[in-house]
Structure 1
Amino acid sequence: MKFRQSFLSLCLSVAVAALSVAVPDAAEAAGAKKARPAAGRVLKKAAAAKVGAVEKSRVSRTSLRRKVAVGAGAVAVAAVARPSYGEVFGLRDTPDALDLKSSVALVMDQDTSEVLFAKNSQAVLPIASLTKMMTGLVVVEARQPLHEVLEVTEDDIDTERNSSSRLAVGTQLSREEMLHLALMSSENRAAHALGRHYPGGLTAFVAAMNRKASQLGMNDTRYVDPTGLSSRNQSSASDLARLVKAAYQQPLLREFSTSTELAVSVGKRTLQYHNTNRLVQSPSWDIGLQKTGYIIEAGRCLVMQAQLAGRKLIMVFLDSTGKYSRLGDAERVRQWVESEAPRARALSGGVMQTSVRQ
């Protein structure tokens, strides 16, 4: 009994110690691996010191291993449980009539620029891989040869979050294939390689991204890399709507971002990629352009252009709370537009005003 109490006290103290240490910026799902070894070593060392006591108290080693595993898992989960910027700023507490799970949302008519729905649309937040929409726009407007073969190098490895990639160093694909993978499957090494092969290199490419944002009137937007892995890539829903409107004018971006799958040949292997947005496969949707994004600081993000109720609409969702909640929010908007939009008035302050039939 004394051992059990002391062991539980040990686990509790380790968990508290782990929570008191700031988790590095790279603590996304893959990047969080950096924080785990330290907690694991503490538990392992403490558990080893208790082996003698375990034998004396006749507690089975199997039971000990189970307890250590559970304790380590709890510490690891606690260590990566960081809030997004939207949560820190209190944006998730903003109510709205559609009960969206996204902290930020905007629905705008593409042709008239009429705002049908707005929720914290001026808030500036990290945008994760929504960044790649600007990456694609800059690549297309540069008019570099799409058939030119680009090679993935060590420079394209993610050192920000240690995220994985199926494109190994040495992989050679055409610029067209790289662009396709970046937009459809959010392939980070493909996006980085596109920027690195821009005239003047990566620095010139990021400068071109920011220059294009300025030209589009995206005054709240800043880019620091072509992938979106950095939380310093930031924008607002209003700015992103401008980007979607501009990107929609490029047929290649529409095609690549909405295709459902792509097979690429890598040496003797064929890699099959799929779209990160399952709504492109839904018969209920007519999507003309889309991009998803996620890092912890940004939450789940989504931008789309879709035709609903006879109108071309641009939708932006930032800092959604769950894995599928951004798609659920898009569905809520679709249902609202198709049923209530003819009687709806524009929103302000995240509060929708509609005339409801009694």
Structure 2
Amino acid sequence: MRSNLKKYTIQLTMLMTVGAAYQNAQAFIVDNSHQKTVTLSRSQFSPSQSSSTYAVTATPITEINQVIKAEPTQTITRHAPKVVQTITKPTYTPVTTTPVTAQASSQFSSSYAQNDSFENFPITTESSSVAVVDLQTGKLIYGKNIDHQRSIASVSKVMTAMVILDSGLDMREEITLIASDLVGAKKASTKLKAGDRMSRSELTLLMLMKSENPAAKALARTYTGGYDAFIRAMNQKAYSLGMYQTSFADSSGLNPNNKSSASDLVKMMTAVSSQPRYQTIRNFSTAPSYDFYIANDILGDRVLKSNNTSRLVRAGAYPIGVSKTGYIREAGYCVVMETHVNNRPAIVVLLGAKASNSRWNDAENILTELAYRN
């Protein structure tokens, strides 16, 4: 039996908020000016200049309604405390990039000598594989072992979300978790339980923001044709993007056989950043936190408070348009992101860091250097 808690309404008007404030876990507050000032320390690069202040402009984004097959404002009624979370829609201008095609598999070179811009990017990185690409020019501006194939952990969930959105499945459809959704290639921490009911849209948000593995499993299981068909679709999608060093064995990334390279992940992230149908990925992966109201007939309804796995997204210090973290022992600590610094879009891929702090130190050093490029 369901609990007798009062019904409530969640208005799921999805958006990305860049440099936004999130207050009391009740709503995403949009920075309507689309302009913020970030002070970046540069003492490690120039002893004579300890810090500088730069204006960074974020391109706001709207939800693409045909992707989720819904009206601009969806109303979903559940049994839970009466709380309303409203996400407001700004206007989106797509990132202009050079399309990534199957013929572009050799677009990025791992040779420092072949790109003069490396001389103007004076950093070292601890991550095993690194790629930084300017999306306006399509040029690799920093690279390290970019063609080395390695496990990518939960970075895989970006591809999982792409396949879900490509499928045209109803994002409002309610999905119930089953016991097998909580069993994976490796034991992973989760607060989800068998019998939990959420919409496909909510599970996608939970998967991208909180990196919940059972959510990824349930999304794949309920795909047309079932779980195995979903994994085939992930591999077919990767191939269509020219990601020839990429293979997927599961939807969550817990399986170490989910492998890719930094250069391949640049292609994936470029597609997410430039194609309007993947607006939901941009919205959901950059949500700093969210309160999920989960229905469960047997165990009772409850609230699951969740935060983004990216400390950069949570802090809001940089304009980040797409983000996904990952970790398993075989993959090390990973993060992929798209960012606009000084209104110039760039893709950053970091794979195989030995410690979480090493990953974030690399990311912050790269973002700081991007702010100082000409």
TM-score (normalised: structure 2): 0.64
Q: How many residues align?
A: 246
Answer yes or no: is 1:308 the counterpart of 2:308: no
Query: What letter matches 2:291 in structure 1?
Result: A
Structure showing greater Rg: 1
Answer yes or no: is 1:297 the counterpart of 2:340: no
Does the 8 Å CA contact 2:307/2:314 hold for their aligned counterparts? Answer: no
Answer yes or no: is 1:317 the counterpart of 2:350: yes
Structure 2 runs not aligned, ≥5 long = 1-120, 296-300
Answer yes or no: is 1:111 the counterpart of 2:136: yes
Match of 2:178 in 1: 153
Structure 1 counterpart SS, 2:369: helix
Answer yes or no: is 1:260 the counterpart of 2:288: yes
Answer yes or no: is 1:334 the counterpart of 2:372: no
Q: CA deviation at 1:188?
A: 0.2
Query: What letter matches 1:255 in structure 2?
Result: N
C-alpha separation in 1, matches of 2:147 and 2:165 = 28
C-alpha separation in 2, matches of 1:105 and 1:171 = 38
Q: CA deviation at 1:101?
A: 1.4
> What is the 5 A alignment of 1:91-130?
97-130=122-155
Query: What letter matches 2:284 in structure 1?
Result: F
Match of 1:198 in 2: 223
What value does the CA root-mean-square deviation take over the aligned residues?
A: 1.3
Query: What letter matches 1:259 in structure 2?
Result: A
TM-score (normalised: structure 1): 0.67
C-alpha separation in 2, matches of 1:323 and 1:333 = 16
Structure 2 counterpart SS, 1:165: coil
Match of 2:308 in 1: 275
Match of 1:19 in 2: none
Match of 2:206 in 1: 181
Q: CA deviation at 1:289?
A: 0.3
Q: CA deviation at 1:143?
A: 1.1
Higher strand proportion:
2
State the 4+ residue runs in structure 1 displaced beyond 2 angstroms. 281-284
Q: CA deviation at 1:282?
A: 3.1
C-alpha separation in 2, matches of 1:97 and 1:109 = 16
Cα deviation, 1:20-78, whole Å, max 9, x if unaligned, reads xxxxxxxxxxxxxxxxxxxxxxxxxxxxxxxxxxxxxxxxxxxxxxxxxxxxxxxxxxx
Q: CA deviation at 1:97?
A: 5.0
Say if 1:204 and 1:113 are closer, same or farther in 2 by CA, change over 3 A. Answer: same
Q: CA deviation at 1:266?
A: 2.0
Deviating more after overlay: 266-275 vs 156-165: 156-165
Structure 1 counterpart SS, 2:128: strand
> What is the 5 A alignment of 1:5-84?
none
C-alpha separation in 1, matches of 2:132 and 2:324 = 15
Q: CA deviation at 1:187?
A: 0.3
Query: What letter matches 1:258 in structure 2?
Result: T
